Structure 1
């Protein structure tokens, strides 16, 4: 080891560079806003197809959903190669993701069963639309929250 001492300005510059690189990885790993709407549209189409109860429509809707989901995920993974370690999310991040997922399921089920109880035609399709809108709105909010959680973590924290 060298006996040279590191100057405070050099240390500050190195830490700033590490912070900038971490922020870049976090930014590149965030799920983009278009993803949430795309998944919502695919989900809505799938539900609408199933609700017709026409075998050929269900088949076309199922294949369309599968192909569409594959295309969306392929585009996402090709453009967003950076992946943040789960440790960066921490308990708060994991809890936020869980709350969002459970909330979306709850919104969909409550809306669907409520509409069915009222005798509304196509309750699953309507509840799917409500859930798709909720996902399109809440997905980017979740990403903003997770970005804040990850960037607030001290450098070097596991």
Structure 2
């Protein structure tokens, strides 16, 4: 069997098409900004409702949180048409996600406990505020970072 002689310009065009399709797949599956904002708002509402210690407000806050979260997740799942392979995110991407998560949790827990120890009113709600801001601001930045990581990987993948 002979190898076909493909002109360099055709090879470049084919590779550009592969890269464009990969970028399309990556962009389709990144978590959109609206999801991060929605999670931040729902989280703040839920924590404030819990901390109010008012029975009906806790019930309403729990229902709003559960329905809101389910709606956000459903909208996200419906939006994603394909799934990105784990190899595309790589170790650096997984570490970025883990670092983002651990940092926000540490900030929220440490601030909440510190405010509680100082006797500040609504310590959990106030401790959650920087976490919500971190989600709303950092979530889209994390997605940009993951996009760059995924698109920087070789088109053919690891060999």
**TM (normalized to structure 2)?**
0.94
Aligned equivalents of 2:13, 2:48: Cα separation in 1? 56
Partner in structure 1 of residue 127 of structure 2: 127
User: What is the aligned-residue RMSD (CA, Å)?
Assistant: 1.3
The C-alpha deviation readout for 1:71-95, integer Å capped at 9, x for no partner, is 1111112223232111101000000
Partner in structure 2 of residue 11 of structure 1: 11
SS at match of 1:142: helix
Unaligned runs of 5+ in 1: none
Aligned equivalents of 1:114, 1:2: Cα separation in 2? 72
Partner in structure 2 of residue 93 of structure 1: 93
Partner in structure 1 of residue 66 of structure 2: 66
Aligned equivalents of 2:122, 2:146: Cα separation in 1? 35
Matched, 1:56 2:64: no
Aligned equivalents of 1:120, 1:141: Cα separation in 2? 32
Aligned equivalents of 1:78, 1:4: Cα separation in 2? 42
Q: 1:10 to 1:120 in 2, by over 3 A?
A: same
The C-alpha deviation readout for 1:24-61, integer Å capped at 9, x for no partner, is 11111111111111101101111111111222221211
SS at match of 2:114: helix
Across the two proteins, how many residue pairs are aligned to each other?
158
Partner in structure 2 of residue 144 of structure 1: 144
Partner in structure 1 of residue 40 of structure 2: 40
Shift of 1:117: 1.4
71-80 or 91-100, larger mean C-alpha shift: 71-80
Unaligned runs of 5+ in 2: none
Partner in structure 2 of residue 106 of structure 1: 106
Matched, 1:28 2:20: no
Shift of 1:4: 3.3
